[in-house]
Amino acid sequence: MSRSLPRLSFRSASRLTASLAALCALAAPAHAQGPQGAEWPTQPVTILMGFTAGSGVDMVGRTLQESLQKSLKTTIIYDYRPGAGGNVASEVVAHAKPDGYTLLLGTAATHGINPALYKSLPFDADADFTPVAPLVEVSNVLTINPVVIDVKSVKEFIEKVKANPGKYNFASTGNGTGTHLAFAEFNARAGLDMVHVPYKGGPDALQAVLKGEVCCIFNQVQSVLPQYRAGKVRLLGVTTKQRVQVIPEVPTIGESGLPGFNSTIWFGFFGPKGLDPKVTRKLNDAVKVALETPAIRQKLIDAGNSPRIETVDQFKATVKADRQKWAGVVKTVGASID
């Protein structure tokens, strides 16, 4: 005759349930125990770029890639989504899950210029993102074709253009881009009358200068270095407050003809809104490690960039101030895109 099993009382059943739960907790993976991001990342991280492969933004991202992978112990995948001044990629990240696996390599254009320039955006450049870390500050440089306008300083350039109103055209990498707005601000400050000729990207715009179709352009230092070193263009002044290390012989525009002029852009990482603070700090720390690595730092400097290390809070302040600054520039020059 078989014995019946003893019935468990409610109290003993509760003890058994609690014991099993404790055992399960011990067996569970660590990332399931703590807050979101405690063990992040456990899979590859995708970073969207709003500009093409081979662009200045891409060069900076690629330079940091290996170090970031080592620090984060995961694979970094760059996903190129060019279009609308970086807005295409920005929209994807703005609506992504805030788990740290979809990030944006943004710029002063995506988070400073575009919110003021575009009449309507499918996202809020402030509320829909979590600023993570800046990467570099990038200077534009007043680049001229000396055959078209033979001057050797910003002061001479201003005098020459003023003496010939409407004669000289300047190129840009497109309507509303940083190169366009920097030159528009320069013209307004200097009181110049120059015609804007937009091109489809940096290579086309620089070729227009080399061919003499236009006299000049404000372009990123790294983009014009080969032509400058080949003696095909002349560099008159950089747009940053300080001289650029890779071309120390080129003065700032502020010190050489237009006091107080400062028009810079930056690149930086952003996550979607709601990104876990622990993930944000871990990313910020990884960027800091990369930018403090001598070989990486020197490679960025040699390309005309200035590595920029800031805390998360400092970067938030940078983005906010830059947005306000570019809103003023856009209003002054009257630029807008539907």
Residue 184, pLDDT above cutoff 80: yes
Distance, CA of 265 to CA of 73 (rounded, Å): 30
Mean pLDDT value of segment 196-206: 87
What fold is seen in the domain 45-137+265-333? D-Maltodextrin-Binding Protein; domain 2 (3.40.190)
| pLDDT value, residue 32 | 31
Top-confidence residue, 69 or 3: 69
pLDDT confidence of 244, banded at 50, 70, 90? very high
- DSSP state letters, 255-293: TTTSTT---EEEEEEEEETT--HHHHHHHHHHHHHHHTS
Distance, CA of 250 to CA of 15 (rounded, Å): 77
Distance, CA of 306 to CA of 58 (rounded, Å): 15
In this structure, are residues 241 and 254 in contact, taking their beta carbons and an 8 Å threshold?
yes
| pLDDT value, residue 12 | 37
Question: What kind of architecture, by CATH, is found in domain 139-238?
Answer: 3-Layer(aba) Sandwich (3.40)
Instruction: Render pLDDT for 117-155 as a digit per residue (tens, 0 to 9).
Output: 998 999 999 999 999 999 999 999 999 999 999 999 999
Residue 162, pLDDT above cutoff 70: yes
Distance, CA of 291 to CA of 304 (rounded, Å): 14
Top-confidence residue, 330 or 25: 330
Which DSSP helix (H) or strand (E) runs through 48?
A: strand 45-49
Which DSSP helix (H) or strand (E) runs through 210?
A: helix 202-211
Mean pLDDT value of segment 70-75: 98
| pLDDT value, residue 53 | 85
Which region, left, alpha or beta, applies to residue 257 given φ > 0 means left and ψ of -120 to 50 means alpha?
left
250 token code pair: 């080129």
Q: Please, what sign has the CA dihedral across residues 156, 160, 162, 163?
A: positive
| pLDDT value, residue 208 | 96
Domain locations in the chain as residue ranges? 45-137+265-333, 139-238
Distance, CA of 17 to CA of 302 (rounded, Å): 63
Mean pLDDT value of segment 325-330: 89
Closest CA to 111 of 96, 130, 92: 130
| pLDDT value, residue 38 | 54
In this structure, are residues 312 and 131 in contact, taking their beta carbons and an 8 Å threshold?
yes
Most confident listed range (20-24, 111-115, 308-312): 308-312
130 strand-pairing partners: 271
Domain 45-137+265-333 matches domain 139-238 at the CATH topology level: yes
| pLDDT value, residue 55 | 82
Closest CA to 225 of 136, 141, 109, 137: 141
